[in-house]
Amino acid sequence: MAARQVIVSALAAALRLPERTAESLLGESRMLMTELPRTLAALGAGEISYRHAQRLIDHASSLPAEARRDFESAVLPAARSLPVGKFNDTARKVRERTHPESIEARHVRSVEDREAWVQNGRDGMASLTLHTSAADVHAAFSRVSNLAVGLQGPGEDRTLTQIRADALTDLLIRGVTAGGFGAGVQARIQLTVPVLSLLGHSDEPATLEGYGPIDMDTARRLAGTAPSLTRILTHPETGCVLSVGKDHYKVPKDLRRWLRVRDETCRFPGCNRSAVRSDIDHGLDWQYGGATAHDNLAHLCAKHHAMKHSTAWQVTQRPDGAMDWLSPSGRRYSTEPAIRMGPAPSHPPGETAPPGKEPDPPPS
């Protein structure tokens, strides 16, 4: 212990870093040298950035030693192709699914660590952080986002991000937003539950939109209190979504639901804007013969939707939902769907758009 402290203090002094930072660097170096050799090789070859390596190390270190090599093999290809934020989400989901201990047992322990804390910032600002169940956090964020959207309107000069921060502050301090708005506004979250797990015949976890795998106890609690449910069946072996419920006759509504499950976020490379806050875009424009079909539709946030139509960016969508992007400079990028899907809902024979609806015009 004393020898390690000497090394840490000497390294910190030489690099002019805090000792805790130096100790973290040593820990990351040890993981790369002894347990994640393929990650070290990819880093040395310039195939991944150090930030990618740090995210991989962080997730791998939370796994038992015997599971780390398999985890590395599963996620390293994604590190070579995804931006750091997207890769971190992918690695976290893989980690949840490959951990040898059940997610239920891990969640029971982790929920004991829930807390909230304040971090002071500059210029009279500070941050409030809440660390608790992912389902509760996403539900809370959904509710305050819905409030913020409702507060937008003529004469409102605040951005949606600013309104969301103000609405949350008002809710925490006063119970309602300024002007009393907020009563009756509910959180809306989307949950995908393998039917065999819901019946207790499988250990496959549920998936919370925007987060990833969650334990089935939480999923059952959410399903039991939901005001309405959308039936989404998943394959018991592959996890592929097989179909979307047909409670609503109009196909476009089912198709939007199907696309939201598949995409989760804007499909432009590196963008994490929620699909709920994004547009559904025709990959091949309607005016050029593009169909309203699952293999020609994808979510794009307002900024990237407008950019696709007004700049030299090009995109091609594959039948499996992957999207190949070509930048104006000639560089190629690919984005993968959040969930691999089965057949999409289709329009009745002879229809290419909802009856009585005009084609969506491209953004101006």
H, E, C per residue of 158-200: CCHHHHHHHHHHHHHHHCCCHHHCCCCCCCCCCEECCHHHHCC
Residue scoring higher pLDDT (80 or 342): 80
Neighbours of 355 (CB within 10 A): 9
- pLDDT tens across 221-276, in order? 777 666 666 655 555 555 555 444 433 323 357 778 888 888 989 999 888 888 88
- Among 151, 175, 174, 153, CA closest to 164: 151
Please report the pLDDT score of residue 235 as a whole number: 54
Q: Which residue has the higher pLDDT, 88 or 8?
A: 88
Location of structure tokens 């969650």: 214
Joined together, the tokens standing for residue 291 give: 């169909």
End-to-end distance of the chain based on CA atoms, in angstroms?
64
Res 113: pLDDT: 92
Non-local (6+) Cβ contacts of 197 within 8 A are 203, 204, 205, 206, 216, 219
CA 330 to chain CA centroid, nearest Å: 28
Ordered by start, the domain boundaries in the chain are: 2-102, 113-180, 230-364
Residue whose entry in the numeric block shows the structure tokens 């190390």: 57
**How far is C-alpha 164 from the chain's CA centre?**
19
pLDDT interval class at 202 (50, 70, 90): confident
- Give the pLDDT score at 214: 83
Cβ neighbour number for residue 195 with a 10 Å cutoff: 16
- Residue for token pair 């980690």: 95
Instruction: Find out whether 63 and 99 touch, Cβ atoms under 8 Å.
Output: yes
Mean pLDDT of all residues in 181-204: 69
* Predicted local distance difference test score (pLDDT) of residue 177: 61
pLDDT in the model for residue 295: 81
What strands lie across the sheet with 314-317, from one edge to the other? Answer: 314-317, 323-326, 332-335
How high is the pLDDT of residue 228? 62
The per-residue pLDDT for range 298-343, each reduced to its tens digit, is: 999 999 999 998 898 999 988 888 999 999 889 888 898 988 776 5
Between CA 59 and CA 217 the distance in angstroms is 23
What is the overall mean pLDDT for the chain? Answer: 80
Asked whether the beta carbons of 305 and 315 are under 8 A apart, the reply is: no
Diameter over CA atoms, the chain: 77
53 pLDDT higher than 50: yes
Point out the least confidently predicted range of 36-50, 90-104, 190-204: 190-204
Q: In this model, does residue 187 exceed pLDDT 70? A: no
Residue written as token pair 């025709």: 282
From its phi and psi, is residue 346 left (phi > 0), alpha (psi between -120 and 50) or beta? beta
Which runs of E-coded beta strand occur in 62-159?
115-120, 126-131
- Axis-axis angle for helices 84-98, 68-81 (nearest 10): 160
Report residue 273 as tokens: 């804007």
**Which range (93-107, 151-165, 249-263, 320-334) has the least confidence?**
249-263
pLDDT attached to residue 135: 87
pTM above threshold 0.85:
no
Give 315's strand partners.
Answer: 325
The residue with greater pLDDT, 178 or 41, is 41
CA distance 177 to 12: 48
Name which of 162-171, 201-210, 256-265 the model is least confident about.
201-210
**Residue 346's pLDDT band (cuts 50, 70, 90):** low
d(CA 134, CA 212): 9
Number of Cα atoms under 13 Å in the Cβ half of residue 274: 14
Reading the block at residue 202, the tokens are 């499988």
Q: How far is CA 153 from CA 140, 143, 184, 301, 320, in A?
A: 22, 18, 19, 20, 39
**How far is the CA of 300 from the CAs of 11, 86, 281, in angstroms?**
46, 15, 6
Higher pLDDT, 298 or 208: 298
What residues form DSSP beta bridges with 117? 129
pLDDT of 241 reads 53
- At 152, the pLDDT band (50, 70, 90 cuts) reads confident
